[in-house]
Amino acid sequence: MLRGVKIIKVVILLFVCNQSIAQVVPPSWIGIWEGKLIIQSQNSIVQELDMAIEILPKSDSSVHYTIIYYISDTITDRRAYELVVKDYEKGLYVLDELNGIVIPTRRYVNTLINMFDVMGSMLVVRSSFGDHQMQYELMITAQDKRSVSGAGSKEIPEVGSYPIFSYHNALLTKRE
């Protein structure tokens, strides 16, 4: 495990049933993924943290998705979710936070993506699985920072945009 003054380890547990694993997530996602999470703000790295994602069998219609943050060697923040498949062929899922909050999530081949807002911030989360590597990204913007450009006409529509103020990125390697 990598060490630092402040270490946050993110462990995401996704459990999938052996009999119908391909009907929940692609089989290549199963395993333990490890690496370093880099948190950036504008032009600087704010923090580098250890991160691990575990994907293990659970059921034929959902995966257990737990995020564990290790703030230090003694402080942890554990969050349990359930990723429920709605239509595997269409890549439709929901991320159930098990507290009444449900977030639509989409699979595009080997990538999971969701977007949601909470407490004035909008977040986009992307996890893309490759051959023994997984790219994890989290982008955060403020809802009240929307800017508008364009003429608002049929020829030149009005376009709303949001500046990203925090970017989290990790390249994780599958443990053999």
Identify the CATH number of the domain in which residue 62 sits: 2.40.128.20
Is 3 domain-assigned?
A: no
Q: Is residue 2 part of a domain?
A: no
Which residue range forms the structural domain that includes residue 32?
A: 10-174
Q: Residue 59 pLDDT > 60, yes or no? A: yes
pLDDT digits (tens, 9 = 90+) for 110-126: 999 999 999 999 999 99
d(CA 35, CA 173): 6
Of the pLDDT bands very low, low, confident and very high (cuts 50, 70, 90), residue 3 is very low
Give percent helix, percent strand, percent coil of the chain, each to the nearest 5: 5, 65, 30
**Does residue 49 sit within a domain?**
yes
Q: What is the pLDDT of residue 90?
A: 95
pLDDT, position 139: 97
Residue 103: the pLDDT is: 96
Q: What is the pTM of this model?
A: 0.79
Q: Is the pLDDT of residue 9 over 50?
A: no
Closest CA to 34 of 14, 49, 18, 17: 49
